[in-house]
Chains A and B, each alone.
Chain A
């Protein structure tokens, strides 16, 4: 399923995306959390792709 094609997303990156997805679903999201999520997304094109 994974590991094929140029756009495939490694399991680790997919899990990180899900981690941030859950963080942003918390009732009170801090500015620091938002900033950390943004910097994760910008850290690598694959991160943004998974997001």
Chain B
């Protein structure tokens, strides 16, 4: 590796050299799969590179395990979504099953939407899903969430706007 004057890069490079094997083993014990463990170990270090700084580490393994735990959670969430998506695809009649390329784009969009909606306050997310997925009317949603119809509309607009911005930032066809 080239010497670097970037302190963050130096810190992460040092951690990588000292702890990469340990982290991969730690992940393998939880995943039962060497390939996924190697991938998620890389994801963990990439996540560190995206941070502003790596704190001065007295307990590097505790720190790495915490970051890796979050990477693991994302991985499981993604797997769960992927399974649900494949199940939904399997229910479609053959002529309307999208091409593999479209399927991949749809899955990525689904994962991005899931992450975006997850960042919203719970009532905002619920109002939006009850309206767009379950097809409930605004009055019924208002009753369920014990808020006014105006608030329900405000929630749906907020969550929907997020989806519009996401859709265009992904630059989908």
What is A's interface to B at a CB cutoff of 8 Å? 1-2, 4-5, 7-9, 11, 14-15, 17-19, 21-22, 49-50
Contact = CB atoms under 8 A, between A and B. Distances in A.
B116 to A, nearest CB: 7
Interface stretch (B11-19, B25-33, B63-71, B159-167): B159-167
Interface residues of B, number: 14
A4 B161 contact: no
- Interface of B: prevailing SS: helix
B122 interface: no
- Interface of A: prevailing SS: helix
B124 to A, nearest CB: 12
Interface of B: 116, 153, 156-158, 160-162, 164-166, 168-169, 171
**10 smallest beta-carbon distances between A and B, as pairs:** A14-B161, A18-B160, A14-B164, A18-B157, A15-B161, A2-B165, A9-B168, A14-B165, A18-B161, A9-B165
A7 B165 contact: no
